[in-house]
Each structure stands twice: as C-alpha cells, then as structure tokens.
Structure 1
Amino acid sequence: MKAYVLLMLILGFCPIMAQQPAEKSVSVEMGEKDLAINQPFVVSVVVRNSTSRPSVQFPELPGLEKRSASATSTTNVVNGKTVLIQTISQQYFAKQEGKNVLLPFEVTVDGTKVKSEGTTLTFNKVEGGAISTENSGEAEEIISSAEDLAAGSIFLSVKVSKPIVYVREGFSVRLALYVAKSAPVEMEFYQLDVQLQNILKKLRPATCWEENVGIEEIVQREVTVGNKKFTEYQMYQSVFFPITLQSVSFPAVKLDMLLLKTLPDGQKKKEVESFYSRPVRVLVKPLPSHPRKDQIAVGNYQLGEKLTRDKVYSGESLRYEFTIKGDGNIATITPPEMAKSMAFDFYPPDVSQTVQRSYEKVSGEKTFGYNIVARQKGNFTLGRFFQWIYFDPVRAKYDTLRSSRTVEVTGENLRASALSGEGADPVYGNIDELDTNVRYIDYQEIIRNLTNAVVLILLGAMVWIFRK
C-alpha cells in the first residue's frame, strides 16, 4: 500500500516540477588562447535564468594583469518564454611574450566558487615591434589635470568622461586612488567596504539612470603620466544618463588609508591618513526644439533589418525585424513609430535586447519582431510604416532610422479585419479606452505560489507515509 501511494505521489509530483522555472546555471568560459602581446585573454562568467545581476570576483592570474571588464545581458523571447543570459567578462593582458601555463582557478559568483580548468596561453610578438597601447589614452585623460598631479604622489580622483552632455546622453564616472611608484610609503586599505558604501551614496545622483559593470573588486594597474609612473586602484566606475536638465554634481569625497610610517627609532607605526577628491560638475543641456524631444532617445544608432520574404499573396503573413543598435541607453529604447495602414495588419512585436556595459560606455542592440499580414495588393516600402527618430549628440542633430525594405503583395484585396479596422492603428488604436485604474493581477506569480504550496504538501505527505 505504501509503495502504491508513493508511486501516485511521484507521478503527481513530476508534472508539477516540470512547471517550475529553470534553475540558474553558472559556467566559466575562456576566450582565444593564441594571442598577440597587445590582445587580451578573456575570462567570462555566463549565468543563465537569473533575473538579478550576479556579483562576480575574478582571480589574479600569474603573469597577467587585469584590465577592463564588461557585463552583457541578453533577453530573448522564445515560444512565449523570456530567456535571460548574463555574461560578465574580465580582460587579462600579458606582461611579456611567450607561453603562460595557467593552473585550474576559481571565480567567485554570488559568494560561490566556480571552478575552471587550466590552460596554456601563447602571447606572440606584434609585427613591427609594436607594443600594447591598450587604455594608454584612457589613463592620460583620467589623471592629466594639473590639479591632480600637483596634489602630490598620492591622490584620490573622481573623473568624468564629459564635462557637458545633452539630457539622456551618457557619460562615465570613475573613482580611483593613484599612488606614485616613487612614493616612499607603505599603505593598505582601511575598512574599505564601509567607506565605499558611504562614498557611493554621494556619487550616485538621483537625477540619472545608472548602468555599471557590477564587478565588486579593486582593479589595480600601472599607468604612466608625464613621465611619472603610478599605480591606479580603481574602486568604482559607472555610466550615467541624466534624465532631467539639472546639472549633475559630484561632491568631494574622502578615503581613509592606513599608512605604515617609520619612526626615528626605527620602529614602524600605522596611522590613518585621509585623502580627498575634488568636486566635479557635469552640465546638462536641453535638446534642440522638436515636437517629441522629451521622448526621443539620445545616442549613436544604426538600423539592422530582417524580412522573411518580400513577395506574398494577400492574406499571407511575413515576419519583419527592426533592430536598433549602437551606443546609448539601450534598455529605454521604445518601438518605432507605426503609421496607420489599410495595406497590412501589424501585430504587437516581440522584443529582445542585448546590453553591453563596459567601463566607458553602454552599447548593444534592441530588436522588435513584427508578424505582418498583407491585405492589399501592390508594392509597399516598409519605410512608410516603420521609422524611429533619435538625437545624435556627436552631430548635434536629429536623425531617423527608416526601413529600406519593400514588399510586393499580389492577389485580391481583403476586407478590413476586426483586428485593425479601416483607417485605424491596429496596435494602438484603442489605447485611449484602456482603464488604467484596474488593478493588475500577476497570474503567473499566483500559479507559481500555488505550485510551491502543492509541492510542500506532497513532500510532507511522503514524510508522513514513511514515518508510519
């Protein structure tokens, strides 16, 4: 009897488990292993089925120096289900040419160590004897101001990539401590986690949309400015997009360090010494006059298109993808404007996006996939129906991404369908009639909670049966 009941419980338990969301999976992947000396070896953490960005700490690898990192999130809709993949990548540059044998290492993801196999890297000499210039211009820009260099051999710096931006245009902010190689001191960080929490509260303006890599560790590297060598300890960097016309101010912040000083009698003593950054301000200017300037995206964008077929009979369907790609706040991009049409039925689009966050900019692409049904014969340029306006801050002008594809429809004209209606916008035609006061009910969340409750009941029943 017990076996029969247990079998029934298992049979009931299996379909319930099948309805559970896929478990989060984490893997470590490595990039190319045969490289030129000025090319980075890339280690990536790939996290699937996670709605929150993981906290990742990459190890120090012998013979290699950490440099830039990036975080990419890809969202796709597959068979009605949203699939999210997050990839966090760390670049490592070789200190010298030749072979580098890496033993197995571990990457910490949300406090859990994930193992990676060892490998052998080969770094080859660049033709012509060129040396790596990776980030050299970046270093010059960050600590080239006379005020910083005059601050001495140790200074705290808050730098912005642009002093003036348009509203919704991105700019990067970096917090770093610089210690000259010639500085006759020994020092170490003092209660850094607590200090950083207080510092970042001051450096994260409420009037900006923030995008950052999310790697919670100090990146150390050597830089040369004005024939003087420094060690840079990068503690924070992010990209901000101002959403109001209010100027963005970053106040002076303080960092306490433990300095090891040598007393006259030869003994050493630890003392806390404070270092201060200078306040920084970014001016935000409005966009030029335009009827929709408060909704238009700002950035550098290009158009990508895909069309399943360009010849159809009336009543047949086709699929069209309108992809916006480039540099800017990809996550906030809205669908292209849809002109009213009696020639086609346009169904609401599926949306997928890939956002890459680096230490200097945010880039990626966003795709709107439309299912279209032809209703009238003729030759139609999709540019009549799909166009997307944006503002290019480099050229300081508005531009429009417009489809260049053409569809030929043959056959008899169809009567207006109930979906779109004659002369109506099929997607947004009834939006004014929607009642926004109706409370939204998340049925998926309710079903998930009920499923979890049933699972707990079944587990309890199994325990009770075996104890009898």
Structure 2
Amino acid sequence: MRSFELIDKMSGMGFLLRFGCCLLGLLLLAGAALRAQPAGQAEADIVLGSPTVAISEYYTISFRLRGAPLEKYSAFPDLEGFKKSGKSSTTTTRITGGQTSTELTITQRYAAYAEGEYAVKPFTMTINGLSVRSAGGTVKVGPQPATPATPAPTGPLQGVGLLDQLFGKPKPQEYVELQDKAFLALVPDKTSIFVGEGVHVGLYFYLTPADQGLLNFYDLTRQLPEIIKNLRQPTVWEEAFNEQEILPETVLAGGKPYLRYRLYEAELYPLNAQPLTFPAVALQMIKYRVAKKPAEGLDNRLEGYKTYLTQPRTIAVKPLPPHPLRDQVPVGEYRLRETIDRTAFRTGEAFRYGFVVEGEGNLASLVGPAVASSPTLEVYGPEVEQNLTRQGGRVGGSKQFSYRLVARQPSVLPLDTLFSLVVFNPALARYDTLRAELHPRIGGPAQRASTFDSLPGDAFYQDVLNSADNTLHPLNEYKDVRRYANMVLAALLALAAFGWWRARRQSPK
C-alpha cells in the first residue's frame, strides 16, 4: 500500500509539472499577443459604391469604423465630374461580457454633372488617426430613363429667331412672379409629454405639384447644419434618424395634396420637466420668375430667391407621478420576453437566462435588473445587446440582458422574485412592472466526472484512479516525495553497481 501511495504522489507531481509548463507557455503567448496588438485598437476600411450608375442616381463612397467611437475623420475626396450631395450614417452596437462592439458606417453621396466614364483616383483618408487607403476604380454614368421626345416645331415661325439675329437683338423679356403655396413647417407628433417620453419632431418643406417648376432647393449643405443647430434642445436625449436623400412624398395637408420634403427628423426624450422650445428657423429657396410672353428657344425663367419661415413651437413636459424610484424608472411602452437555453436543470450546472425588453422608448438609457448572488444561487452578468430601429417616424427595438445562473440546491427557482423591472407607460399614465414568469425546477446534483480520464485498456488504473483518495495534501509534501525518489534511485544505482562488481569478480579470467 505504501508503494502505491508513492506512485500516486509521483503521478500527481508529474501532472502538476506538466500543467505548470503549459500554463507558463500560455501566459507567454498571451503576453506576446498583447504586445503585438494593443487592446481596443480601432479598425477601418473604405467601400466604393456601384461602378455603374444613372445620371439621376448617386455614386457613393463609405468608410466603416469598428472597435472605437468616431472622433474625427478627414474629408471625403473630391471626384472629377461629380458634386458632393450629403452624407448618411448607420450604427450597430453590441455589449457582450462587458465588452462593447460598435460598427459605424459613414456614406458620402456624389451627383454626376454629365454622362460618361470617370476615374476614381487612389486616395487616402484618416479616420481616428488611422490612415486608410483605397485603390480607386472607375465609374460609368449612364443616361437617365428615356422620356418621350418633343416633336420639333414646324412652319414659318422658325425663321423669326434668325431674322432677330440678323437685324438686331429681340426686346428684353418681361418677367412676373407667380404666387406659390409652399411653406416650411416644424411638426411634432405631440404637444405635451412626460419626462422621458419620446416626441417625434420633423422639419418639412411642403409645396403643391403646380409649384415644382417655380421652386428649387438652394445650398442645403450650408443651410441645414445651421438650421439643425438652432433646433437642438440642451435638455433631451436625441435619437436622430439616419440621414436620407431629400425626396418628395405625397401627403394631404388641409385636405389638399402636397409634395413633402423631409429635411430633418429626430426622436427627443426630455431629461427633466423643462419645456422644449423651438424658435422660428428660415430656409432660403430658389424661386423663378416666369416670362410674361414666353419665347420659343429661351428658358423663359429668371432665377431669384425667397425665404420661408417656420412657426415657433413649445412642447410642455410633465413630471412623472410620485413613485419611490421615479428618477430611475424607464419611460416607454415596453413588454417583456424571456429566453432560456435549456429545459432540464441540475445543481452545479450553469444555464443562460435572457431578460428581453421590447417596445418603443429610450432603450439606450434602460438598465437591466440588478441581481446579487446568494448562497443558493450564483449570478453572472449581464451581457447586453441592443437593436434599435428608426422607421416611419417611430423609434423602437429591443434590449436583451443575458445572465448565467448556477443553482446550489434542488428547488423551484423563483425567477419572478429575482428579475423584475418597474417602467412607466406614458400612454396609460401609470407605472407597470415587467416580471419574470419562468420557474425552472432544479434537480439533484449532476454525476461528478472523474478528474482523470480512465484508461480502458488497463484494468488496474481504471479501478484504482476512479477510487483514489482525493484528500488535499500540503504543498511541501512533494519535497518529501522528491527525497524518497532520490533515495530509491540511489539504492537501485548502488545495487546495480554491486551486482556489476560481483559479476566481474566471479567471471573467469
């Protein structure tokens, strides 16, 4: 029995030595990897748009940034034959294991002056200090969709223009300014809201179909940033909609059809009870005066300018009703969805539980339930993932809080007493509680697996290792094992030397 304990100790010492060598190797590799690539390093690349576009479409150049928030970036390149025409942005955010991953895409649109094939020369952009290079390419700008050709005028009137050129310039045209029915409006979807409740605000330009030939946008890239700056509120959380092309949509205003152009829209969530005050903002448009007596072969329009103003608006903000957690309660129309990764549960086994909040509201400020570990339950997390959708003037989505749970005793796990979230529903003007409804039943302990794999080909080790004593021993016990091993080796060496000496002495000479 003593010899077996000695072998068991020597096996344990060998295992620890091998484990220590492996651990040291892993630490060295991890250190080398950390030196080779700094943590949190940003990554960026450039994406070119379609190589074939119509004259009425936009060509695009985008850059994608991952691993860091956007701090600054250099200007997009100027393309020969194109004019810059606004930008758009898209953001995706994930939080896993306490680590946040974000991908931001910024897109620059270009409008072509004329048809043809153009070269996009190689260029370099600096994004958060990173130098990113594009090899460039080519862009083929094709014609716009064909429209029916207007037949050329016939008859003796064709010679009038030639006679005017021969015998003198025609008389100057007289222009008149026609009355238009266009207007600029700031439109909120609510006139009174609670603190934390979202209000959609849109800046629109309306004009009748008959006014299309009289009006045109003027220098929006300069005017819009100043207008938006004047509309921003200092006491709100703003979820701006992704920048879109300014395209007309047909709507009814006052029972009459209008073409509406969306210039700016956002969802605003007030942080306190201070009213939201929007001043009047101005937009300058190109307005054409038309010829009193149109002449064939001439434009018959004279370019001018007209300024349109919005009406100032104020949105009242009401405080939330009294509640012990009023300053911490999320506001929105929320519902709860639960997820769990298994159907059978045992003590000592980890399982994943998801507390998913869905609906409309300020998901960015929503914090998941705080659950502390106890002697009967270990709680890890949460990991957070947020999906936000901005569409049709509404902002909504889901936010998932994933927890890892380990139960320490058999029972029915009361998740409803652990996971709950108090919210305020502004549509009903009352507080609600989102509470877990799952009650997993925890069974007895799972069968403990052997630390060492049995050797099916060796019955001795298969029986002995499974029944070996796993009592903890002092760390300095292995010094005694080494001393005993050295003594045994020395005795065997001495015995071998003595046997060799006797054999040599007894051998005949």
- Bin of the TM-score, shorter chain as denominator length: 0.5 to 0.7
The alignment's TM-score, normalised by the length of structure 1, stands at 0.60
2:289 to 258, 261, 267: 261
Name the CA shift for 1:286/1:227 in 2 (closer, same or farther; >3 Å): closer
Asked if structure 1 preserves the Cα contact closer than 8 Å seen for 2:69 and 2:102, the reply is no
Name the CA shift for 1:19/1:243 in 2 (closer, same or farther; >3 Å): closer
Name the CA shift for 1:19/1:204 in 2 (closer, same or farther; >3 Å): closer
User: What residue number does 2:102 align with?
Assistant: 84
3-state DSSP class of the match of 1:338?
A: coil
Alignment partners' CA distance in 2, 1:163 and 1:336 = 33
Alignment partners' CA distance in 2, 1:86 and 1:321 = 26
Name the CA shift for 1:230/1:354 in 2 (closer, same or farther; >3 Å): same
2:36 to 2, 12, 16: 16
Alignment partners' CA distance in 2, 1:199 and 1:249 = 14
Name the CA shift for 1:86/1:327 in 2 (closer, same or farther; >3 Å): farther
Name the CA shift for 1:29/1:373 in 2 (closer, same or farther; >3 Å): farther
Structure 1 residues 42-71: Cα deviation after superposition (integer angstroms, max 9, x where no partner): xxx99573655899x9xxxxxxxxxxx995
User: What residue number does 1:343 align with?
Assistant: 376
User: What residue number does 1:325 align with?
Assistant: 358
User: What residue number does 1:190 align with?
Assistant: 218
Shift of 1:29: 12
Structure 2 gap ranges (5+): 1-31, 51-61, 77-87, 108-119, 128-133, 140-178, 295-299, 446-509
3-state DSSP class of the match of 1:406?
A: coil
User: What residue number does 2:230 align with?
Assistant: 202
1:355 to 388, 392, 409: 388
Alignment partners' CA distance in 2, 1:284 and 1:201 = 21
User: What residue number does 1:366 align with?
Assistant: 399
Shift of 1:74: 4.0
Asked if structure 2 preserves the Cα contact closer than 8 Å seen for 1:73 and 1:356, the reply is no
Alignment partners' CA distance in 2, 1:314 and 1:364 = 35
Alignment partners' CA distance in 2, 1:260 and 1:188 = 9
Q: Match of 1:262, as an amino acid?
A: V
Alignment partners' CA distance in 2, 1:222 and 1:293 = 42
Q: Match of 2:259, as an amino acid?
A: T
Alignment partners' CA distance in 2, 1:26 and 1:382 = 47
User: What residue number does 1:296 align with?
Assistant: 329
Q: Match of 1:164, as an amino acid?
A: S
1:281 to 306, 314, 321: 314
Name the CA shift for 1:293/1:46 in 2 (closer, same or farther; >3 Å): farther
Name the CA shift for 1:301/1:46 in 2 (closer, same or farther; >3 Å): farther
Alignment partners' CA distance in 2, 1:321 and 1:394 = 27
1:117-128 equivalences under 5 Å are none
Give the number of equivalent residue pairs. Answer: 330
Q: Match of 1:49, as an amino acid?
A: R
Structure 1 residues 160-218: Cα deviation after superposition (integer angstroms, max 9, x where no partner): 01111111000111111111123386222223222212211111100111001231542
Q: Match of 1:279, as an amino acid?
A: P
Name the CA shift for 1:167/1:81 in 2 (closer, same or farther; >3 Å): closer
Name the CA shift for 1:49/1:248 in 2 (closer, same or farther; >3 Å): same
Shift of 1:348: 2.8
Correspondence 1:212 to 2:231: no
1:311-460 equivalences under 5 Å are 311-338=344-371, 341-411=374-444
Shift of 1:263: 5.7
Asked if structure 2 preserves the Cα contact closer than 8 Å seen for 1:239 and 1:359, the reply is no
Shift of 1:26: 7.1
Alignment partners' CA distance in 1, 2:407 and 2:238 = 42
Q: Match of 2:305, as an amino acid?
A: V
Shift of 1:381: 1.8
Q: Which has the higher helix share?
A: 2
Correspondence 1:49 to 2:66: yes
Name the CA shift for 1:19/1:238 in 2 (closer, same or farther; >3 Å): closer
Name the CA shift for 1:343/1:28 in 2 (closer, same or farther; >3 Å): farther
Shift of 1:300: 0.9
Asked if structure 2 preserves the Cα contact closer than 8 Å seen for 1:167 and 1:244, the reply is yes
Structure 1 residues 407-443: Cα deviation after superposition (integer angstroms, max 9, x where no partner): 223447xxxxxxxxxxxxxxxxxxxxxxxxxxxxxxx
Alignment partners' CA distance in 1, 2:69 and 2:42 = 15
Indicate the larger mover: 157-166 or 249-258: 249-258
Name the CA shift for 1:13/1:313 in 2 (closer, same or farther; >3 Å): closer
Q: Match of 1:170, as an amino acid?
A: G
Identity of aligned residues (%): 31
Asked if structure 1 preserves the Cα contact closer than 8 Å seen for 2:379 and 2:404, the reply is yes
Name the CA shift for 1:86/1:322 in 2 (closer, same or farther; >3 Å): farther
Asked if structure 2 preserves the Cα contact closer than 8 Å seen for 1:70 and 1:356, the reply is no
Alignment partners' CA distance in 1, 2:194 and 2:206 = 30
Q: Match of 1:388, as an amino acid?
A: L
3-state DSSP class of the match of 2:210?
A: coil
Alignment partners' CA distance in 1, 2:279 and 2:388 = 30
Name the CA shift for 1:265/1:329 in 2 (closer, same or farther; >3 Å): same
Alignment partners' CA distance in 2, 1:402 and 1:186 = 59
3-state DSSP class of the match of 2:357?
A: strand
Shift of 1:17: 6.0
Asked if structure 1 preserves the Cα contact closer than 8 Å seen for 2:372 and 2:379, the reply is no
Q: Match of 2:231, as an amino acid?
A: L
Correspondence 1:233 to 2:253: no
3-state DSSP class of the match of 1:222?
A: strand
Alignment partners' CA distance in 1, 2:138 and 2:326 = 49
Shift of 1:244: 0.8
Shift of 1:393: 0.9
Superposition RMSD in Å: 4.3
User: What residue number does 1:452 align with?
Assistant: none
Q: Match of 1:179, as an amino acid?
A: L
The structure, 1 or 2, with the larger RCO (C-alpha pairs under 8 Å, 6+ apart) is 1
1:73 to 76, 92, 98: 92
Asked if structure 1 preserves the Cα contact closer than 8 Å seen for 2:348 and 2:407, the reply is yes
Alignment partners' CA distance in 2, 1:192 and 1:308 = 52
Q: Match of 1:406, as an amino acid?
A: H
Shift of 1:358: 2.7
Alignment partners' CA distance in 2, 1:333 and 1:391 = 12
1:73-152 equivalences under 5 Å are 73-77=92-96, 82-85=100-103
Alignment partners' CA distance in 2, 1:188 and 1:305 = 52
Structure 1 residues 67-119: Cα deviation after superposition (integer angstroms, max 9, x where no partner): xx9956241427x7544356899xxxxxxxxxxxxxxxx9xx99x99999xxx
Structure 1 residues 134-156: Cα deviation after superposition (integer angstroms, max 9, x where no partner): xxxxxxxxxxxxxxxxx961111
